[in-house]
A and B are shown apart, each in its own frame.
Chain A
Amino acid sequence: MIRFENASVTYRGGVHALKDLTLEIPDGQMMVIVGLSGAGKSTLIRAINGLVPPTEGDVIVDGISVRKASAKQLRVLRSRIGMIFQTFNLVKRTSVLNNVLMGRLHTTGTVRSLLGWYKPADVEIAMQALERVDIVEKAYARASNLSGGQQQRVGIARALAQEPSILLADEPVASLDPPTSHVIMRDLQRINRELGITTVVNLHFLDLAKLYGERIIGLRAGELVYDGPGAQADEHVFRDIYGRSLSAADVMGEDAAPAVAL
């Protein structure tokens, strides 16, 4: 379980990215965060794995305080939390398999990992992760040889290789076209349901949020302004979250027009 306890994040320079947030995400839930750019969505996600630790209050993940965790505890915590990024963040000049094996670094000794001598069992876990997102045939290809959608699947496989209990996805489809976006969102939904992994996703397309979010929370200027089931979030709710009327740019739509970021 993830619990935000009056958590605030203030960046150096005085930007309040998150303000006094109290929130509970139960195990196995698929939760979508919506809000405008700069509303604090990315900060919220990074507060969970301590990439951006809270400056006030706390975030408790499976009983461990992110704020008070030592460097070692934080690494252990991060190893249980997979993360997926908008720009995929693969090392493009190495193989897909090497990228996925990053997810096994936390159980691999320093010398072994420096030499790249992963244990056969870890390679097997990486291969299974690639199979789960249906891209295992690219295991030995260079990551740069893959399309955006394929790269994001490799990103998901890297997170799965950690055998995580929580999956964080920071705008996982913002760099992808609509059909590919749905493929990726369905992958995440399937993983959430089949493996029971708590999944927290940032999205800015409202139709995607409604379609895939078991629960939706809305952030505006770092504050929680909505929290409810995805099915109940209608146009009025989104207007409240965004603080303005909605436009065509706020939904992805079903045509193949290139997605325009807000």
Chain B
Amino acid sequence: MTAAALALRRPAPPSHAKRNLGLLGAGLIIGWAAVTLNIDVGSILELPGGSAGLFYEMYLESGPDWGYVPDALGYMIQSLAMAWFGTVIGAIISLPLGFFGAKNVSSGLVSNVMRQVLNAVRAFPELVLAVVVFIPIAGLGPVAGALAIGLHSVGTLGKLTAEVIEGIDEGPVEAARATGAGSLQVQRWGVLPQVLPEIVAFWLYRFEINIRASAVLGVVGAGGIGFILQQTLAFHRYPLAGTVLLVVVVVTIAVDTVSGFIRRRIIEGAEAKVTGEVVEAELRDAGPATGPPGR
């Protein structure tokens, strides 16, 4: 075959039109967003100077107020409690809802409706839920914050739970059905043990996110560290605010580290140490029986 004939068999390079169109679209959206924001270039240029000034007043002028650390820690613990309580509410409610939202264990109609409900819940940020719903009901304070965090978490955790359940191995489910188990029993022993490690990891990850949310919620009156931060800034008590910020950063990083460690242990831990054992088991399997039994 000649070189020319060979070349004819080669495929034409794929068109880049789609990609270029996508890039163009993304560029247009960025431009539109910038115009809509009405960005004032001057104020952006002032930002570093302003921040430096604030930093000076918080940490350098008279140093952060170390004596305030115990108080700030107390408020931070209140924020952590708000985040923890909210996460627990979200976890408990989202688990059954996630089962209803998973196509493979619930029905098509039920799962579609449940997904839409979860999407709707998720559409409201904690801040909006707190200001519009829970502060009017529960009054100012951490309870309203915890409830707002909890409801928003139901939306996100429920959706993730449903997606994890849709990814399960159907084999054990068939095996459970074949034993004559009822449908709740099939969910409990055929589905739940398969998905629980991932779901618990999501719960912890959600807790990490909720810590940040709880700090912000304090600013709108839901108590905790955010409330104190807002107060100290409003009264220009910058050394105090500096202490509060330090406490927020240090505690958040500490909790993230611990939570992240636990998450990795849950997902990988037990499986990571396995490899050696399986090889050993296979050797044992192959050991005793070397041929068919006597005929």
List residues of chain A with CB under 8 Å of any chain B CB.
Answer: 49, 51, 75-83, 85, 87-94, 98, 101-103, 105-106, 108, 110, 113-114, 142, 144-150, 155, 158-159, 162, 168, 177, 179-180, 182-183, 186, 207, 211, 254, 256
* A146 to B291 alpha-carbon distance, docked (Å): 22
Contacting pair A93 B197 (CB below 8 A): yes
> Per a CB cutoff under 8 Å, which of B172, B270, B289 touches A91?
B172
Check: B72 CB closer than 8 A to any chain A CB: no
- Chain B 169-183 residues near chain A, CB threshold 8 A: 169, 171-172, 174-182
How far is the CB of A243 from the nearest CB of chain B, in Å?
Answer: 27
Chain A residues near B181 (CB-CB < 8 A) = 75, 102, 105-106, 113
B271 in the interface (beta carbon within 8 A): yes
Q: Report how far A150 CA is from B278 CA in the complex, Å.
A: 10
Inter-chain contacts of B282 with A (CB < 8 A): 147-149
Q: Which residue of A lies closest to B171 (CB)?
A: A89
Do A79 and B179 have beta carbons less than 8 Å apart?
Answer: yes
The chain B residues found within 8 Å of chain A, CB to CB, are 169, 171-172, 174-182, 184-185, 188-190, 193-194, 196-197, 270-271, 274, 277-278, 281-282, 284-286, 288-293, 295
Query: DSSP class of A's interface residues: helix, strand, loop or mixed?
Result: helix
Cβ contact of A113, chosen from B188, B285, B290, B291, cutoff 8 A: B188
Q: With the chains together, A108 CA to B180 CA distance in Å? A: 11
Closest residue of chain A to B197 (Cβ to Cβ) is A93
Residues of B within 8 A of A89 (CB): 169, 171-172, 174-175
A85-B171, A89-B175, A158-B175 known; A182 vs B281 contact (CB < 8 Å): no
Asked if B278 contacts A146 (CB within 8 A), the reply is yes
**Would A91 and B281 count as touching, CB distance under 8 A?**
no
Alpha-carbon gap, A176 to B132, bound state (A):
61
B202 to chain A minimum Cβ distance, whole angstroms, is 15
| B174 interface neighbour in A51, A94, A98, A254, Cβ under 8 Å | A51
Q: Could you give 19 example pairs across A and B, Cβ below 8 Å?
A: A79-B180, A89-B174, A89-B175, A90-B175, A91-B190, A105-B176, A105-B179, A105-B180, A105-B185, A108-B185, A110-B185, A145-B277, A147-B285, A149-B282, A162-B179, A179-B285, A182-B293, A183-B288, A254-B291
Which residues of A are found within 8 Å of B285, using beta-carbon distances? 147-150, 179-180, 183
B141 → A minimal CB distance (Å): 35
Residues A78 and B178 in contact in the complex (CB < 8 Å), given A87-B171, A94-B193, A179-B291: yes
Report the separation of the CA atoms of residues A51 and B284 in the bound assembly, to the nearest whole angstrom.
35
Residues of B within 8 A of A150 (CB): 281, 285
Whether A76 contacts B180 by the Cβ 8 Å rule is: yes
Shortest C-beta distance, A197 to chain B (Å), equals: 15
Q: Which of A90, A93, A106 contacts B180 (CB 8 A)?
A: A106
Taking the closest CB of chain A, its distance from the CB of B267, in whole angstroms, is: 10
Contact status A102-B193, CB under 8 Å: no
- How far apart are B184's CB and chain A's nearest CB, in angstroms? 6
Report which of A105, A177, A211 forms a contact with B295, defined as CB distance below 8 A: A211
A155 to chain B: closest residue by CB: B175
A79-B180, A105-B180, A183-B285 known; A113 vs B171 contact (CB < 8 Å): no
CB distance from B170 to the nearest CB of A (A): 9
- B189 & A144 in contact (Cβ 8 Å cutoff): no
Q: With a CB–CB cut-off of 8 A, which chain A residues contact B292?
A: 182, 207, 211, 254
The answer on a CB contact under 8 Å between A186 and B174 is: no
